[in-house]
Amino acid sequence: MAFSISNFYKNLFPPKVQSFLGVDIGASSIKVVQLTRKHDRAVLETYGEIALAPYDGKEMGKAMNLPPDKIAEALIDLCRESSVTAKRAAVAIPFVASLVSLIEMPTSDQKQLAQMIPIEARKYIPVPISEVSLDWSIVPKEAKMFQAENEIKTEKTDVMVVAIHNDTITKYQEIGAKTNLNAAFYEIEMFSTIRALLDQNSKSAMIVDIGAGTTKLYVVERGVIKNSHLVNRGSQDITLAISNANSISFVEAENLKRSTDISSTQSDRNIIGIIAITLDYIFSEANQVLLSYEKKYAKTVDQVILIGGGSLLKGILPTAKRSFQIDVTLGDPFSKVEAPAFLRDVLKTANPEFSVAVGAALRMLQES
């Protein structure tokens, strides 16, 4: 057997398994997902979730806006409870804290774009440019099969410009500093989400992320976000409505929401009616976004994918299918991830609220 110095050293100092953490600080809870790489596959090591409301003495499940030290406290508890060992993390920034605009530019030259975008972005961003950090990426052009003879060739480039308020970045840096985690990068949650759920070969889709406080809508084609939209309603609105209508506590209303199958004839008609008001609102905005996309690009979207804790509502799928003219499915955030036997069983139950955390961890894995 040939002796190899490198093998000798490898055996003396076996390479440490590198683990990466995706962190999603949602309005109602923090989610973490720890991945590692095995034979070029992403493998799940651990994952977990912790409610934020108890850190401010409120009822579990409520959407919160906590200061950095409280969030850090919850994140430290969550990492301990989930036996997180990774030290490097990718942290998702909420879509609400970002401003996304699709801007048409007259050039695709990177240098020119770098000069022009901060000036052009002023028209779209309602706060002084000095108060935000700007990032942008070119939306790839469609490969055109035919070019009409009389079509004028213009060098129009769609650029997705993202602005994040500097206060938000400072807040996230503070959370990072208070925990033992080394935040390798921050990215807006929509980019994490689509990485977990879709790729270049996926059918076009509208992702509907029903969170606690808000619902996020992304239209994605060949893995690229073509449109995004925030709906100011989330699953918490359902709980609040049930609580008000029946004069019961938030906790009781939350339990009632989770136990009601909205597609079953056995369920209380009144509760179904209350739940339907919020769902109709969300689905009707989603339909409007679909319609305007179809008008702009003259093509239809293939499917709707529901994610977020709000999509765990029993019987949501038949209801959603009635609202949309296209196929509707529930997203599986762990579809790109392998799981060891001890985690496989729990993963069989839907975990649609982990899409953001999985996507963030996947990026770390890809870039390591």
Ligand X SMILES: Nc1ncnc2c1ncn2[C@@H]1O[C@H](COP(=O)(O)OP(=O)(O)OP(=O)(O)O)[C@@H](O)[C@H]1O
Residues interacting with ligand X, by CB under 6 A? 26-29, 61, 94, 211-214, 234-236, 239, 254, 257-258, 308-310, 312-313, 353
The residues, any chain, with a CB within 8 Å of residue 45's CB and separated by 6 or more, are 19, 34, 35, 36, 85, 86
Residue 159 has a CB neighbour count (10 Å cut-off) of 20
Is residue 26 at the binding interface for Mg ion, with CB under 5 A as the rule?
yes
Residue with smaller CB distance to ligand X, 159 or 196? 196
Is residue 331 at the binding interface for Mg ion, with CB under 5 A as the rule?
no
Q: How far is the CB of 211 from Mg ion (least distance, A)?
A: 4
Residue with smaller CB distance to ligand X, 221 or 237? 237
Q: How far is the CB of 75 from ligand X (least distance, A)?
A: 13
Q: How far is the CB of 17 from ligand X (least distance, A)?
A: 29
45 φ/ψ sector (left φ>0, alpha ψ -120 to 50, else beta): alpha
Interaction partner, residue 176 (Mg ion, ligand X, none; CB < 5-8 Å by kind): none
Interaction partner, residue 331 (ligand X, Mg ion, none; CB < 5-8 Å by kind): none
Q: How far is the CB of 254 from ligand X (least distance, A)?
A: 6
Interaction partner, residue 193 (ligand X, Mg ion, none; CB < 5-8 Å by kind): none
Q: How far is the CB of 26 from ligand X (least distance, A)?
A: 2
Size of interface with Mg ion, in residues (CB under 5 A)? 2
Residue with smaller CB distance to Mg ion, 272 or 307? 307
Q: How far is the CB of 9 from ligand X (least distance, A)?
A: 45
Interaction partner, residue 333 (ligand X, Mg ion, none; CB < 5-8 Å by kind): none
Interaction partner, residue 212 (ligand X, Mg ion, none; CB < 5-8 Å by kind): ligand X
Q: How far is CA 195 from CA 31, 207, 351, in A?
A: 16, 12, 16
Q: How far is the CB of 339 from ligand X (least distance, A)?
A: 20
Q: In the 3-class helix/strand/coil scheme, how is the chain assigned residue by residue?
A: CCCCHHHHHHHHCCCCCCEEEEEEECCCEEEEEEEEEECCEEEEEEEEEEECHHHHCCCCCCCCCCCHHHHHHHHHHHHHHCCCCCCEEEEEECHHHEEEEEEEECCCCHHHHHHHHHHHHCCCCCCCHHHEEEEEEECCCCCCCCCCCCCCCCCCEEEEEEEEEHHHHHHHHHHHHHCCCEEEEEEEHHHHHHHHHCCCCCCCEEEEEECCCCEEEEEEECCEEEEEEEECCCHHHHHHHHHHHHCCCHHHHHHHHHHCCCCCCCCCHHHHHHHHHHHHHHHHHHHHHHHHHHHHHCCCCCEEEEECHHHHCCCHHHHHHHHCCCEEEECCCCCCEECCHHHHHHHHCCCHHHHHHHHHHHHHHHHC
Interaction partner, residue 234 (Mg ion, ligand X, none; CB < 5-8 Å by kind): ligand X
Is residue 352 at the binding interface for Mg ion, with CB under 5 A as the rule?
no
Q: How far is the CB of 52 from ligand X (least distance, A)?
A: 8
Query: How far apart, in whole angstroms, are the C-alpha atoms of residue 315 and residue 313?
Result: 6
Interaction partner, residue 213 (Mg ion, ligand X, none; CB < 5-8 Å by kind): ligand X
Residue with smaller CB distance to ligand X, 66 or 105? 66
Residue with smaller CB distance to ligand X, 120 or 254? 254
Q: What tokens does 338 get?
A: 């392998």
Q: How far is the CB of 113 from ligand X (least distance, A)?
A: 31
Residue with smaller CB distance to ligand X, 23 or 161? 23
Interaction partner, residue 312 (ligand X, Mg ion, none; CB < 5-8 Å by kind): ligand X
Interaction partner, residue 313 (Mg ion, ligand X, none; CB < 5-8 Å by kind): ligand X
Residues in contact with Mg ion, shown as a per-residue x/- string from 162 to 181 under the rule CB under 5 A: --------------------
Is residue 211 at the binding interface for Mg ion, with CB under 5 A as the rule?
yes
CB 81 within 8 A of CB 12: no
Q: Counting every residue, how long is the chain?
A: 368
Residue with smaller CB distance to ligand X, 29 or 98? 29
Q: Which residue ranges make up the site for Mg ion (CB under 5 A)? A: 26, 211
